[in-house]
Chain A
């Protein structure tokens, strides 16, 4: 099941610079997208979401961009901080057809170096 793909297994960034994490999806029924952060031995923590009627949503240092025509979304973190080092998961759902079920990508390990 490759409906949500994060093609970069890892990303390394210097503190203070921008981190850009990417996600692609194939299912055109998806209309709600979320980013989760996960530390070892913890559950995923919700970061930010976007519905398909928008192309951008911003919350502090985190911005998610959605390009529906390309079926692509990205998470921008600026400025990056060492505490942002974690695994980042992109997830998608289709509330109209599959209530609440989240389909996750494989995750991208972000490392922010001081």
Chain B
């Protein structure tokens, strides 16, 4: 069964450093998302991406964040200068997106720890 994959599973970084989180969505999906879950809190939407551009972003997704689909398979989230409060689980998701009423399939997540 096709699945969303994410690497690395755990990333530890120093405050102020740049990190890139990587995702490989399901191959025939058209819509891609990033969510995050801070420990003990809700899963929060960060950004959606379609047709090589951002379709929506949340207030959390400020200038420190960027997304890219550098090739036909990868989808990346970059945080330019990490802060302590960026420590969270980051989930990538994808959907086929043909009608707007499709479930999103989530990857296993990357645990980001900012020291």
Q: Which A residues fall within an 8 A CB radius of B?
A: 32, 34, 36, 41-46, 49, 51, 89, 91, 95-96, 98-107
Question: B55 touching A99 by the CB < 8 A rule?
Answer: yes
- Give A99 to B56 CA distance when docked, in angstroms: 8
- Give A44 to B93 CA distance when docked, in angstroms: 10
Question: Which bucket holds chain B's interface residue count?
Answer: 20 to 34
Question: A42 touching B45 by the CB < 8 A rule?
Answer: no
Q: Which of B6, B50, B93, B108 contacts A99 (CB 8 A)?
A: B50
Per DSSP, chain B at the interface is: strand
Question: B109 touching A49 by the CB < 8 A rule?
Answer: no
Q: Please give, as numbers and ranges, the residues of chain B lying within 8 Å of A105 by CB-CB distance.
A: 42
Asked if B43 is at the interface of the complex by the 8 Å CB criterion, the answer is yes
Question: A100 touching B31 by the CB < 8 A rule?
Answer: yes
Q: Which of B42, B56, B91, B100 contacts A96 (CB 8 A)?
A: B100
Question: A100 touching B100 by the CB < 8 A rule?
Answer: yes
Q: Please give, as numbers and ranges, the residues of chain A lying within 8 Å of B58 by CB-CB distance.
A: 101
Q: Please give, as numbers and ranges, the residues of chain A lying within 8 Å of B55 by CB-CB distance.
A: 99-100
Question: B4 touching A43 by the CB < 8 A rule?
Answer: yes
Question: B45 touching A102 by the CB < 8 A rule?
Answer: yes
Question: A101 touching B107 by the CB < 8 A rule?
Answer: no
Top 4 closest A-B pairs, CB basis?
A95-B100, A43-B106, A104-B43, A46-B103
Proximity string of chain B (58-97) to chain A, C-beta cutoff 8 Å, 1 when within and 0 when not: 1000000000000000000000000000000001010101
